[in-house]
Structure 1
Amino acid sequence: MSVDAKIEFPVIEFRSSDLERGTDGWHRLCNKVREACETFGCFEVVYDTISTEVREEMFRLMKELVEVPVERKQKNVLPPPSYGWVGPGSHVSPLYEGFGLGDVSNYDSVKNFTQLMWPEDIAHTMGTQLEKNYITIMRMMKYMPPPPGENEIRFFPHTDKPISTLICENQIPGLEIEVNNGQWIKLTNLSPSSFVFLVGDLLMAWKHRVMIREDKDRFSIAAFVFPNKGTIIKTPKELIDEQHPRVFKDFDFMEFYSFVFSDPARSRDSGQLLYEFAALTPPVSN
């Protein structure tokens, strides 16, 4: 399908004054987020509290990271859902490279990664241990431009399986979102202080893909939110009635995640896996 540049992608500014829970600004912000997620399953986040200098330094270090020796990269091995280093020529894409970092709010997790990749340096990182019901997994990704005349898709159309994804890119466009009419929105002209937020499969996500049309490497960082191990996903009772029956059974999130990466699921439509795993036939109204 073609890319439709006429569709206006939602842009939401996150100001400090609107982030205090319970205020009028917070309620307005929540409504904007809900509407964007219901319509597109994603939106552009404008958040200028993180400086341009910090972002530029982050991508500078990523360029250093992809240059470390392969034998060192291969030490970046993690169990699901984090996984680890994926090199060019893998099942993902011949021109894709990615690194995995476990719970990024955990100091030891960040320290272990930096000591593997930069053993000669000392990581100066401050972290806080917060009681929470989720973990955040980070992937650092490089998409290389295709040779002249070759296919420009760098990452196939898919939906993300975590609860949500937050993407920061290095101003090289490439991310596209499929909308409900089968066309694709190309995300261009994102501000230097922007991120892209996408909901995952559990919130009925639209597909997205990466298309590289420039002759430059594209770097991006994605933060994926996963519920803690043992979390049961269920439909709130308040949303179920005769007109709105329950469509999915209650299920353990990690069991669903394991199913997604099983051999039987690899050849199926990414956007249909939740239905295959948890759909009730027929739906239940109690």
Structure 2
Amino acid sequence: MVEEAKDGDSEAEELLPVRDGVSCEEGGGGALIHSSIITLMHNKDALTHFRKINKNNPHPENRESNRQEIIERMEIKNEITMIPCFGFCKGLEEGSEEWKKMSKKVREACESHGCFLLMCDEIIPKGLNEELLKQMEALFDLPEETKKKHISPKAYSGYNGKDPVIPLCESFGVDDVHLSDSAQTFTNVMWPQGNPSFCETLRTMSIKMLDISFLIMKMIVEGYGLPQHYISDVENMKSSCNSRLIKYHVPESNNDCETGLLSHSDKNTLTVLCQNGVQGLQVLSRDGKWIELEIPQHGFVVIVGDVLKAWSNGRLHAVTHRVMMSGEKERYTFGVFAKPKEEMVIEVPHELVEDKVHPLRYRPFNYGEFLHYFVQTLKENALQAFAGV
């Protein structure tokens, strides 16, 4: 597993806003491509040196050359596998040259890593993110009998208490917050006396994070140069969603690391997650190494799911990931899992099928049937077993 920066965590958070690329000023149309800086977060010596030269060189043009020098030095060492980090700004205009460049970067990240880190302060305000994560603490502090009242027959919905297999994980799943009054219904069950602040924050965050999912899916369509009518395809692949509120408890033993969530790939289309600052999410690299992601403060992680992998004819990588807990702080995570309605048929665009290079890998399949198959079998390779050609 890749070693993370311990003493340099706070410095890493300071570095992330120093973004490469175009200015992110209001109306500037800036879509910031900011991948190489993540390397710095995993190297204490580089962090210290980077911070020093930034203090000694207050001018951005000087900082740029210094930053590039460090990045090149670290790439030569080849100490870690880089996980890309992008920045989305309000001014990004669909169809612009900058949109096309960012779409290519997003597509490549989803192909090579199956995930990327994202900063989007102008689209999802920091305060909104912080408020929901803070309110989640009060939610999980409610009596067990109250939490158990949130019931749903659907997989990944309802309340899931501590399971003997993953005793550190506790979660709520709320379906289709963007379409219905489900946020209000959920809130009323948890707080019969009412909690309008929690309800509105949950609804707003869910909608904004689902909008981010759709934006990324449109970038993938653009990144492959597909006709615009496929936009309706990907829109249908996020027509439903599951908003998941998760708490990972502190391990009771003195072990260095305990499993918070078993390794898996997501069975939906695309996942967007944020957290309270306690790390623990790990992704499995192509060469079989577990890499712990350093999700930046107020940042998000985007994860490709099996649906998008199938739709792209296996070009996009549904990365296997898990949660490992250590330390003395609880981890709170909020995720929006974009997915199709269960009756939707997932079918590979014929433009993504090339007989010799990329032959058809997945037959058309009904999403609800695939989900039912996975829940019944829990196979790791459920997508291949169910829909593989």
- TM-score of the pair, normalised by structure 2: 0.66
Once residues 37 and 228 of structure 1 are traced to their aligned partners in structure 2, the CA distance between those partners, rounded to angstroms, is 23
Unaligned residue ranges in structure 2 (runs of 5+): 4-41, 43-79, 212-231, 310-316
In structure 2, which of residues 117, 123, 128 is the aligned counterpart of residue 44 of structure 1?
Answer: 117
CA 1:176–1:240: 2 relative to 1, 3 Å: same
Q: Indicate if the aligned counterparts of 1:52 and 1:193 stay in contact, CA closer than 8 A.
A: yes
Once residues 29 and 166 of structure 1 are traced to their aligned partners in structure 2, the CA distance between those partners, rounded to angstroms, is 18
Q: Which residue of 1 aligns with 2:373?
A: 259
1:79 aligns with 2:79: no
Q: Which residue of 1 aligns with 2:334?
A: 221
**SS of 1:191's equivalent?**
coil
Query: Within 5 A, what are the aligned runs for 1:201-240?
Result: 201-202=306-307, 203=309, 204-240=317-353
Q: Which residue of 1 aligns with 2:225?
A: none
The amino acid that maps onto 1:222 is: G
Q: Which residue of 2 aligns with 1:100?
A: 173
Once residues 53 and 246 of structure 1 are traced to their aligned partners in structure 2, the CA distance between those partners, rounded to angstroms, is 45
Once residues 372 and 330 of structure 2 are traced to their aligned partners in structure 1, the CA distance between those partners, rounded to angstroms, is 32
Q: Which residue of 1 aligns with 2:383?
A: 274
Shift of 1:56: 2.0
Once residues 278 and 56 of structure 1 are traced to their aligned partners in structure 2, the CA distance between those partners, rounded to angstroms, is 40
The amino acid that maps onto 1:185 is: I
Q: Deviations over 1:237-277 (max 9, x none)?
A: 12223213212111001110111100xx13x3x2x111110
CA 1:43–1:163: 2 relative to 1, 3 Å: same
CA RMSD of aligned residues (A): 2.0
Q: Which residue of 1 aligns with 2:278?
A: 172
In structure 2, which of residues 108, 120, 129 is the aligned counterpart of residue 55 of structure 1?
Answer: 129
**SS of 2:137's equivalent?**
helix
In the alignment of these two chains, the number of paired residues is 270
Q: Indicate if the aligned counterparts of 2:306 and 2:383 stay in contact, CA closer than 8 A.
A: yes
Shift of 1:171: 0.4
Q: Indicate if the aligned counterparts of 2:274 and 2:298 stay in contact, CA closer than 8 A.
A: no
The amino acid that maps onto 1:207 is: T
Q: Deviations over 1:145-185 (max 9, x none)?
A: 21233451211111110001100000001001111000011
Unaligned residue ranges in structure 1 (runs of 5+): 281-286
Query: Within 5 A, what are the aligned runs for 1:237-248?
Result: 237-243=350-356, 244-248=358-362
Q: Deviations over 1:189-236 (max 9, x none)?
A: x32231000000231412101111221100001110111231111111
Q: Select the structure of larger CA radius of gyration.
A: 2
Calculate percent identity across the aligned residue pairs.
33
Shift of 1:81: 4.3
1:184 aligns with 2:258: no
- TM-score of the pair, normalised by structure 1: 0.88
CA 1:97–1:249: 2 relative to 1, 3 Å: same
Q: Indicate if the aligned counterparts of 1:17 and 1:25 stay in contact, CA closer than 8 A.
A: no
Q: Which residue of 1 aligns with 2:264?
A: 158
In structure 2, which of residues 135, 138, 145 is the aligned counterpart of residue 64 of structure 1?
Answer: 138
Judge which range, 219-228 or 2-11, deviates more.
2-11
Judge which range, 2-11 or 112-121, deviates more.
2-11
In structure 2, which of residues 74, 87, 97 is the aligned counterpart of residue 13 of structure 1?
Answer: 87
Q: Which residue of 2 aligns with 1:283?
A: none
1:135 aligns with 2:240: yes
Q: Indicate if the aligned counterparts of 1:82 and 1:102 stay in contact, CA closer than 8 A.
A: no
Once residues 38 and 87 of structure 1 are traced to their aligned partners in structure 2, the CA distance between those partners, rounded to angstroms, is 35
Judge which range, 119-128 or 236-245, deviates more.
119-128
The amino acid that maps onto 2:267 is: K
Larger RCO: Structure 1 or Structure 2 (Cα < 8 Å, ≥ 6 residues apart)?
Answer: 1
Once residues 382 and 2 of structure 2 are traced to their aligned partners in structure 1, the CA distance between those partners, rounded to angstroms, is 25
Once residues 207 and 229 of structure 1 are traced to their aligned partners in structure 2, the CA distance between those partners, rounded to angstroms, is 23
Once residues 346 and 161 of structure 2 are traced to their aligned partners in structure 1, the CA distance between those partners, rounded to angstroms, is 33
**SS of 2:323's equivalent?**
strand
Once residues 195 and 112 of structure 2 are traced to their aligned partners in structure 1, the CA distance between those partners, rounded to angstroms, is 45
The amino acid that maps onto 1:226 is: K
Q: Indicate if the aligned counterparts of 1:52 and 1:192 stay in contact, CA closer than 8 A.
A: no
**SS of 2:355's equivalent?**
coil
**SS of 1:9's equivalent?**
coil
Going by fraction, where is strand more abundant, 1 or 2? 1
Once residues 63 and 92 of structure 1 are traced to their aligned partners in structure 2, the CA distance between those partners, rounded to angstroms, is 23
Q: Which residue of 2 aligns with 1:250?
A: 364
Once residues 105 and 273 of structure 1 are traced to their aligned partners in structure 2, the CA distance between those partners, rounded to angstroms, is 28
The amino acid that maps onto 1:120 is: Q
Once residues 194 and 83 of structure 1 are traced to their aligned partners in structure 2, the CA distance between those partners, rounded to angstroms, is 25
Q: Indicate if the aligned counterparts of 2:273 and 2:336 stay in contact, CA closer than 8 A.
A: yes
Q: Which residue of 2 aligns with 1:284?
A: none
